Amino acid sequence: MSKDFNAGRTSAGVIATHLVRRPDDETRDELIAQAFSGGASVTHRIDDYQFIVRASGTHLVGSSGAIDAVSNEVLKRSEALLARDRHREAQLGNLETELDDIRVRLDELRQALAASLPPASGGSLTT
């Protein structure tokens, strides 16, 4: 649920979910008995600036085996997201380097073209 305030410059939102299970003896070590997750966010805009505050949390109840399984899955997903972000940052760095090389080459081509034009035709190129 979210709500806008201050002519749309401020918004606040909350979300919550709760799960209750009654695991039997066979599933007690595999399933979480209870889980509560919730979060809140506030966004405020002033001119060209945007301020964001977010908070979230989870509370799990169950056997240590079930909670460990959930924790391991969360860690795997977090590590995968970090690896993806690092890969994208590396790609962005490579693209910036290639773009700089292209700019240098374009400047060289402009200078070569300007030098090859006869003076009567103006002899200058503008970008």
Local structure of residue 49 (DSSP, 8 states): E
Tokens linked to 124: 């200058």
Q: What confidence score (pLDDT) does residue 28 get?
A: 81
Question: Which of 90, 22, 94 is closest to 62 using CA atoms?
Answer: 22
> Domain-by-domain residue ranges, the chain?
1-62, 64-112
- Contacts of range 96-100, beta carbons closer than 8 Å, 24 or more positions apart: none
Helix (H) or strand (E) holding 120: none
The one-letter amino acid at 62: G
Q: What confidence score (pLDDT) does residue 26 get?
A: 85
Tell me the C-alpha to C-alpha distance, in Å, between residue 11 and each of 46, 55, 56, 62, 110.
Answer: 12, 14, 17, 36, 50
Q: What confidence score (pLDDT) does residue 42 get?
A: 95
- pLDDT tens digit at each of 127 positions of the chain: 989 988 889 999 999 999 999 888 888 878 889 999 999 999 999 988 999 999 999 999 988 888 888 888 888 888 888 888 888 888 988 899 999 999 999 999 999 998 888 876 555 555 5
